[in-house]
Chains A and B, each alone.
Chain A
Amino acid sequence: MSRTILDVTDLRKDYSQRRGLISMLTGQERVIPAVDGVSFYLRENETVGLVGESGCGKTTIGRTVLRLTDPSSGRIVFDGRDITRLSRAELRPLRREMQMIFQDLDAGLNPKMRVQAILREALTVYERPSDAEIARRIRELLEQVNLKDSKLANFPAELSGGEKRRVGIARVLAVRPRLIVADEPTSALDVSIQAQVVNLLRDLQKHLGLAYLFISHDLPVVELVSQKVAVMYLGRIVEMGLAESIAHQPRHPYTRILWSSLADKRSTEVREPRAWGVFDFEQPVSGCRFAPRCPLYQDKGRPAVCTDPASEPPLRDAGKGHVVACHFG
Chain B
Amino acid sequence: MRRYVQSPGSVGEFSQLPLWQRAATLDLVYVGYGLLVVALVLASYLLGALGWLPHDPQAMNVGLINAAPFTPGHLLGTDFLGRDLQARLILGIQAYFLPGLLAVTISVVAGSVLGILAGYRGGWFDTIITYFDNLLDSFPRLVLILLVIASFKPDIYYVMVVVGITGMPVIANLIAGKIAFLRQTNFIEAAHALGLPAHTVILKHILWFNCRALLVIQATLGMAEAILVETSLSYLGFGVQEPTPSWGNMVQAGANYFLQGNFWPSTAPALAILATILGFQLLGDGLNNLLEGKRGR
Contacts and interface: CB of A to CB of B under 8 A. Distances in A.
A and B assemble together: yes
B194 A113 contact: no
A95 B194 contact: yes
B196 interface: yes
Nearest to A102: B186
Contacts of B194: 95, 99, 108, 122, 125, 171-172, 175
Contact of B195 (A92, A102, A157): A92
A305 interface: no
A212 to B, nearest CB: 15
Contacts of B210: 110, 112
Interface in A80-135: 92, 95-96, 99-100, 102-104, 106-110, 112-113, 121-122, 125-126
Contacts of A153: 16
Given A110-B209, A157-B15, A158-B13, A175 B185 contact: no
A102 B184 CA distance: 12
Interface in B1-58: 13, 15-16
A92 B209 CA distance: 24
A154 interface: yes
A102 B190 contact: yes
Contacts of B193: 66, 68, 95, 99-100, 102, 108
A128 B146 CA distance: 56
A113 B209 CA distance: 8
Given A66-B193, A100-B193, A157-B15, A106 B185 contact: yes
Contacts of B192: 68
Contacts of A92: 195, 197
A126 B193 CA distance: 13
B13 A154 contact: yes
**A contact patch SS:** loop
Contacts of A108: 186-187, 190-191, 193-194
A107 B295 CA distance: 19
A104 B185 contact: yes
A113 B192 CA distance: 17
B209 A112 contact: yes
Contacts of A172: 194
Nearest to A125: B195
Given A112-B210, A113-B209, A95 B187 contact: no
A126 B186 contact: no
A155 interface: yes
Interface in A147-178: 153-155, 157-158, 171-172, 175
B50 to A, nearest CB: 40
A96 B195 contact: yes
B205 to A, nearest CB: 6
B189 interface: yes
Nearest to A113: B209
B121 to A, nearest CB: 13
A242 to B, nearest CB: 30
Contacts of B15: 155, 157-158
B92 to A, nearest CB: 40
Contacts of A171: 194
A283 B15 CA distance: 51
A104 B187 CA distance: 9
Nearest to A88: B198
A100 to B, nearest CB: 5
A254 to B, nearest CB: 29
A175 B195 contact: yes
Interface string B174-190: 00000000000111011
A95 B190 contact: no
Given A125-B195, A126-B195, A68 B185 contact: no
Nearest to A69: B189
Given A92-B195, A100-B190, A110-B210, 13 more contacts: A68-B192, A68-B193, A95-B194, A95-B195, A100-B193, A102-B189, A106-B185, A106-B186, A107-B186, A107-B190, A110-B209, A125-B194, A172-B194
17 contacts: A63-B189, A68-B192, A99-B193, A104-B185, A107-B185, A107-B187, A107-B189, A107-B190, A110-B209, A112-B210, A113-B209, A121-B196, A125-B194, A125-B195, A154-B13, A158-B15, A172-B194
